[in-house]
Amino acid sequence: MRNIDGKQKSKGAKNCFDFFKVLIYKMQNAERFSALSFRDFRLFWFGQIISLSGTWMQSVAQGWLVYSLTKSPFYLGMVAAANSLPILLFTLMGGVLADRFPKRNLLLITQGLSIIPALILGILTSLGIVTVWHVALLAFFLGTINAIDIPTRQSFLAEMVGKGHIVNAIALNSAAFNGARIIGPMIAGLAIAYLGIPACFFLNAVSFGAVLAALARIQTKGEIRIGTKGVLSEFMEGIAFLRRNRELIHVILLITVFSLIGLPYISLLPVFAAEVFHRGAKGLGFLMSASGIGALTAALAIAARGDIKNKTRFMSIAGLCFSAALFIFSLTGIFWISLIAIALGGWGLVSYLAVANSYLQTTVPDELRGRVMSVYSFVFLGTVPIGNAIMGVVADAAGTSHAVTGAGILCIIGSGIFAKRYLGGNLPA
């Protein structure tokens, strides 16, 4: 009987393996997922899924840890700000480094260094000596690493697949990020409930091994370009390129509004999970996963379409969707309605960002890509610490729900101005 059971399990495992093997084969040979036909991108993509799942686990665990230590939305905002502040300070320099040095080598360094804060946080939490200031300092250290990692990773995509497949690569990369955004929080919620918070930090540290192994096997490395004009002059070349493209300025301004006012709601989700919906760590995992489901749907839909012809019309609708969903989420006290609202918000935000990213990547010259993408990272993530700090103060004084309601209204105004200017228009291709 044991032999029969063993054969059945073996057969089941083989069938499961064959299913995923066929699925991957079809994806990499389909025109709609053409970027996966490139070996280097394929390695990088699968490594990212595992590593980013660990990153999202740490994000959930860190938020729950800070809330458990302080019971304060103010400190949630402050720690989130500490994580994002280095991007505001250093990511523009990171773009210059990405244009000067082999991007694969830079990514090996940044991904390897990212293991350190996860391990330290896991050890401190296990020993029961962790404080909110430990969390804030480690978040700042990780943010400094990300200030170099993010523009490097974004600009590395074009080197792996070329400009002809960059839109598909961006959409698939976003799908990996947001697929991990579903997997990571769900695992984190269960891990916190049954294994404890430290397990999430240790699992995240282990997950970096996948992307490091992938990067080690990638043949594309990037070129070494010795700058002759000085760091400041080279950075100003990227700014000058953007100033000559008025349409890009409008797109980037709306990204700034979303990042400064809209995105900080994520740092307050532990308060919603505990005090509004009374669902605890599991509820927090479901809230973050719902946002990930909407975002993943958006990324896969854009990858399947290949390109968006009427980009401004699409971005106008997506921006309004995110803003309205954030407003609805802040007002409802019903958990399942909040999950739907937050999923729609995830769809809207990622739809807008993916199309904006692809337009930047296809417009920018190769020699400026790292610097221009550092500006994108600067406005997308660098302004978040200011928003997190403001949102934390407002939530502490006026209440978390009221703070997010105000953010939703301001995002509706910003996306409405953008839609009025561009709805029905099209960016030059």
Which pLDDT band, with edges at 50, 70 and 90, does 378 fall under?
Answer: confident
Quote the CA–CA distance of 429 and 79 in Å, as a whole number: 40
Query: Which of 5-19, 197-211, 234-248 shows the highest mean pLDDT?
Result: 197-211
> Which residue in 84, 52, 154, 101 sits closest to 374, CA to CA?
154
Structure confidence at residue 6 (pLDDT): 44
Asked which of 15-19, 63-67, 99-103, 357-361 is least confident by mean pLDDT, the reply is: 15-19
Average of pLDDT values for 202-222?
A: 87
> pLDDT higher for 115 or 185?
115
Do residues 142 and 225 touch, judged by C-beta distance below 8 A? no
Average of pLDDT values for 18-25?
A: 47
Structure confidence at residue 138 (pLDDT): 93
Q: Which two tokens stand for residue 93?
A: 């320099």
Which pLDDT band, with edges at 50, 70 and 90, does 10 fall under?
Answer: very low
3-state secondary structure labels for all residues of the chain: CHHHHHHHHHHHHHHHHHHHHHHHHHHHHCHHHHHHHCHHHHHHHHHHHHHHHHHHHHHHHHHHHHHHHHCCHHHHHHHHHHHHHHHHHHHHHHHHHHHHCCHHHHHHHHHHHCHHHHHHHHHHHHHCCCCHHHHHHHHHHHHHHHHHHHHHHHHHHHHHHCHHHHHHHHHHHHHHHHHHHHHHHHHHHHHHHHCCHHHHHHHHHHHHHHHHHHHHHCCCCCCCCCCCCCHHHHHHHHHHHHHCCHHHHHHHHHHHHHHHHHHHHHHHHHHHHHHHCCCHHHHHHHHHHHHHHHHHHHHHHHHHHCCCCCHHHHHHHHHHHHHHHHHHHHHCCCHHHHHHHHHHHHHHHHHHHHHHHHHHHHHCCHHHHHHHHHHHHHHHHHCHHHHHHHHHHHHHHHCHHHHHHHHHHHHHHHHHHHHHHHCCCCCCC
Asked which of 33-42, 266-275, 380-389 is least confident by mean pLDDT, the reply is: 380-389
pLDDT at 205 > cutoff 90 = yes
Which pLDDT band, with edges at 50, 70 and 90, does 224 fall under?
Answer: low
Average of pLDDT values for 325-348?
A: 89
Asked which of 161-165, 228-232, 250-254, 289-293 is least confident by mean pLDDT, the reply is: 228-232
The residues, any chain, with a CB within 8 Å of residue 398's CB and separated by 6 or more, are: none
Quote the CA–CA distance of 377 and 113 in Å, as a whole number: 20
- Residue 413 to residues 323, 357, 420: CA-CA distances in angstroms? 9, 22, 10
Quote the CA–CA distance of 249 and 234 in Å, as a whole number: 19
pLDDT at 14 > cutoff 60 = no
Query: Which of 25-29, 70-74, 196-200, 380-384 shows the highest mean pLDDT?
Result: 196-200
Structure confidence at residue 64 (pLDDT): 86
Which pLDDT band, with edges at 50, 70 and 90, does 131 fall under?
Answer: very high
pLDDT at 126 > cutoff 50 = yes
Structure confidence at residue 29 (pLDDT): 47
Task: Give domain limits for the chain.
Answer: 38-422
Pick the CATH number of 38-422 from 1.20.120.1750, 1.20.1250.20, 3.50.50.60, 3.40.50.300: 1.20.1250.20
Which pLDDT band, with edges at 50, 70 and 90, does 145 fall under?
Answer: very high
- Residue 343 to residues 186, 293, 405: CA-CA distances in angstroms? 15, 6, 17
Asked which of 58-72, 113-127, 228-242, 277-291 is least confident by mean pLDDT, the reply is: 228-242
